[in-house]
Amino acid sequence: MRTVRSANNVKKCVFPTVLLIAALSPRMATAALGEPETSLQTEGARLHASITVSQHENYHLHELQLTSGTVVREFAGSDGKVFAVAWSGPTVPNLREILGQYFESYVTAAKAPHSGRHHLQIRQSDLVVQAGGHMRSFSGVAYLPQAVPGGVSVGDLH
């Protein structure tokens, strides 16, 4: 006799599975977390994405509007390195590309048991990721706690 318990287990891993599939899909390329922001303009042209750059007191904000409707925001400090990325829209961007060298840490942490099927929260000393959503409405933010410039609120990174 089969139990209903297995259906609950499947539901709990739906969101992380969707994120991992999206992360492995080749959709876009941008400057990755922890890397220089210099490649953003050429990437925007290659992706046919519109890019808006705004200067804030302690960082630059590069906002890419993709043809899919998803918006990717990359935050770069005065040193020119990307310290945070955020996304929102109908698709999850290629997380392998936007998380760069931190992608493997993300994958390992995302596979660990966690509560909730529509929200993922990873808090490590060198990486924080908060992601959530459902079909056609995804959002998330990933940042390097040690690289966030002084005077910048983590709440402003969405």
SS3 11: helix
Higher pLDDT, 40 or 20: 40
Strands 128-134 and 119-123, sheet pairing = antiparallel
Give a yes or no: residue 155 inside a domain.
no
Count of domains observed in the chain: 1
pTM listed for this prediction? 0.76
Is the pLDDT confidence value at 41 over 70? no
Q: Kindly report, residue by residue over 56-77, the tens digit of the pLDDT.
A: 999 999 998 888 899 999 999 9
Which is more confidently placed, 51 or 11? 51
- The torsion of the CA quartet 27, 118, 143, 47, rounded to 10 degrees, works out to 20
115-156 pLDDT, tens digit each: 666 689 999 999 999 999 888 899 999 999 999 999 999 998
Cβ pair 142, 120 in contact under 8 A: no
Beta bridge partners of 121: 130
pLDDT at 141: 97
Is position 96 within any domain?
Answer: yes
The pLDDT of residue 8? 45
Ordered DSSP codes for 72-127: EEEEEETTSBEEEEEEEESS---HHHHHGGGHHHHHHHHHS--S-SSEEEEE-SS-
Residue 157 lies in a domain: no
Residue 49 DSSP label: -
User: Which residues touch 41 (CB under 8 Å, ≥6 apart)?
Assistant: 51
Cα separation, 31 vs 25, in Å, equals 17
If you average pLDDT over every residue of the chain, what do you get? 80
> Does residue 156 lie in a domain region?
no
pLDDT of residue 22: 46
Establish if 139 belongs to a structural domain. Answer: yes
What range defines the domain where residue 121 resides? 5-148
3-state SS, residue 51: strand
Give me the pLDDT at residue 28, please.
Answer: 45
**pLDDT > 70? residue 46:** no
Tell me, yes or no, whether 158 lies in a domain. no
- Taking only the tens place, the pLDDT of each residue in 95-118 is 998 899 999 999 998 888 766 666
Taking the C-alpha atoms of residue 105 and residue 158, their distance in angstroms, rounded to an integer, is 21
Residue 37: per-residue pLDDT: 84
